Structure 1
């Protein structure tokens, strides 16, 4: 049968066709893994005169050694095994196998789920596979890491020596041309402070008649560091970000802070132990924020076209970064977006605002994606070509999720 004339299909039909065909490809990949597992059970490598099955596959389908080994390993995880006594043992990742058989997971997804499940109890497999059905493998790895941290963060480790606290290191080398070479290693808190100061100064310059900013990221950050040195010499002129002086935000439950348990999270999602938070609180101003029953911040801003510093602070506390599903961008990379646009009568309130990185801000304005506030939380709906049922989606990458 000849291929259909693609020029006769609408753009939405083309994209829907890609989604359907990739799903079919993934389902066929699962079938291939089942056949690989059966070859392994039969000891096919020895039958063909090879040491291992990956070596057979390298020659049979022209895979690189690493690729062949990965397929054999994933096949073993998704298939039942026959013991020497002839009894059958269920697959080690049965829920993952079921999702892969539907075409919902790629082999890359399976590899990440297997990696995460090495540390988590088996009861978490359904939750991790649920992530994998909605997000790319890299996002699933981040979500899995957060699950692991939340599960084991308070476990005692009596056999392990207390780790040495990460110290700050700064190496300065004067060059022959008079320039200075700088190399630094900073602990998590100091590093977050440094990035918070540097980031607004390292943004690309606005496009002018001469075109966009030609500097590379390294060049922009170098120029930002030079500007930061000048600003430090003029301490009363420190930069602003999001309409307020540069601020390091840590979020945690007050009960945990008082009891010195658990951890807080920085803007970038890094966990900070409670004792370090208490130490920071001794020398830093604290801005309390009253939260609603579902942890949504109450309305703190005044009616205006631009989001005020107070409203943005509340959005940061609620969204913890770009709210778009699967995006890990921290608050300092985000704009405050009017869900119901100001020009269309939308108010500048917390329940009409959402944090979005520049890329997803543009996407929301120009595509079929929609965002709504439901029960005080941003919820996104994909275009029909991506999800005909338009199921609600949330970003589960940020600590607040």
Structure 2
């Protein structure tokens, strides 16, 4: 059979032929969507060993998965289901289904109508489809938005919601060996908390030994939060909490022989308590003036009192067996080869051998003036 020579057709007849072909294609596509819906209803994907029907279509007709999902969704919107009792259910978009069966709407029209109907009542489908019969899908979307706006304009004015009283919320949850903290603070409380955290969360100054502070912001703010907790705990405003965690926490807590200094302040309370009392802390602040680690500028309020000879190893809670360290350097001393000793009432630090084979003694000169 010879192909007709379209070049011989007048323009109006050629255009009419294109319109006719589109109509036939849409009718054929409608039949195909009903076949896809039937495949879904009978569970063809599981029967064929696939996860879902779009995956089947992807391989069967070499569609991209996105295209397969579009066809599957359009078929779902237009299909009529029959329940196990024989009841016939209308499709989700019944007016659209009828128009598609006539060849009046394309697949893109179906998608556009489905989108706008999410914001419209079911009775609005009729005017939307009537508009779609005469316009392209993008215009259908605009029409749907305008129709939704007009319908919502007719709704009663919503009552002004009662202003909610700001509330502060806190949730704590242990996961393994860490405590997860979630908080939601009102504006004033949040601003106060931020003002306390920000100074503590600044990057540590560069030093020759440690270089720049490589912590992420979240890590710096987490450490700052921990510093804030330590500061509050040192304020003697919190009740005692039972339990004795690991060695690093053991720097801070137990009682008795008491040795008094020249101003009758306690300088040594022996082994009875591992917590440094306020009197010893005042003497440490006067002596160290902040974190004693070489090059650190953290002030006393950001520091813990650290047992030079660990409490767990028999060390006393005394001025001579203590040094002020910020949280970062307190952790470093406990978990690395750094060591600290007292020489002539001055804390002296030595590096690990891998960092300095000669282990040259160092002190913090920033607080010496």
User: TM-score by structure 2 length?
Assistant: 0.42
Q: If you compute each CA radius of gyration, which structure gives the higher value, 1 or 2? A: 2
User: TM-score by structure 1 length?
Assistant: 0.39
Higher RCO, 1 or 2 (CA under 8 Å, sep at least 6)?
Answer: 1
